[in-house]
Structure 1
Amino acid sequence: MEQEQTSPAVQKRVQDSFDLQGLMSHLGARITHIGPGRVHIVLPARPEVTQQHGYIHAGATSAIADSAGGYAALTLFDEESEVLTVEYKINLLAPAAGHHLEAIGTVLKPGRTLTVCQLEVYGVQADGAKVLVANGRQSLIRVDRPAE
């Protein structure tokens, strides 16, 4: 199934912003899809992001979910706008195991001020099989881009 892509300008703006995030870089996460109101972020499984039982840590799982939702919202905002998370709730449904995690942020309700996103995180096996390991909701606020 082919996924809709955003314009090259929106893709660049989202990727450039993502590249400035120290935490995403530190975790080893990367964006794999930028569509209108939808962003996918992949986090490879490696020892540095695990907890004591060998599963990917809930903090890493939550962080990529939060960023996927935030960037999904940003795809719908004008270039003078930025986004900040107001709140999010995540349900951890299964141990975060697999070759990598894939977080998908999807805008449910865009708004001039507040935007609501659905968050999903899948554990993906080497053969491509997926298990939903977390889901949640997020509220984001549109803010003016700071002057440079």
Structure 2
Amino acid sequence: MNDLDARIRASFDRQTMMQTLGASLASVTPGQVTITAPILPTVLQQHGAGHAGLAFSIGDSAAGYSALSLMPEGAEVMTVEMKINLMSPAIGERLVAEGRVIRPGRRIMVVAVDVWAETGDTRKHVAMLQGTMIPV
């Protein structure tokens, strides 16, 4: 594990919301972070699909950690704004949020996330997020 990976994982481990959702950090590279979460019976909406709040929560964290991965050690990040497009019901075993930095600025960073519902080897694109992060 490299320093970047260890720094991002240490921060992620302090997020009790991610623990509540059963989310885990799948990968960390400069400017890109992937977070996964099971679609548990406790996170379904009334039609039986994964709730949009699950997709948004792991997507927001994947975006934020993507931004943090490009910031110096000791920096922190917060979401300024985030938009989500829900494209398909989140039906599957788990959600995978693949976050990336689109534009790394000194004052703000534009980020994007693709969220996929997976069952076995099958994956379906269920949501896209775009937003802005700020170093704090």
Q: Which residue of 1 aligns with 2:49?
A: 55
Shift of 1:32: 0.4
Q: Which residue of 2 aligns with 1:68?
A: 62
User: Does residue 33 of structure 2 align to residue 39 of structure 1?
Assistant: yes
2:131 paired residue among 107, 127, 138: 138
Indicate the percent of aligned positions where both proteins have the same amino acid.
43
Q: Please give the per-residue CA displacement for 1:5-51, whole angstroms capped at 9, x wherever unaligned.
A: xx711111100100100100000000101011000000112101111
User: Does residue 83 of structure 2 align to residue 85 of structure 1?
Assistant: no
TM-score (norm 1): 0.89
- Stretches of structure 1 that go unaligned for 5 or more consecutive residues are 1-6, 144-148
| Residue aligned with 2:76, SS | strand
User: Does residue 119 of structure 2 align to residue 122 of structure 1?
Assistant: no
- Stretches of structure 2 that go unaligned for 5 or more consecutive residues are none
Q: How many residues align?
A: 136
| Residue aligned with 1:97, SS | coil
Shift of 1:125: 1.3
Shift of 1:75: 0.6
CA RMSD of aligned residues (A): 0.9
Q: Which residue of 1 aligns with 2:99?
A: 105
Shift of 1:99: 1.2
TM-score (norm 2): 0.97
| Residue aligned with 1:12, SS | helix
User: Does residue 84 of structure 2 align to residue 96 of structure 1?
Assistant: no
| Residue aligned with 1:131, SS | strand
Structure 1 runs (4+) deviating above 4 angstroms are none
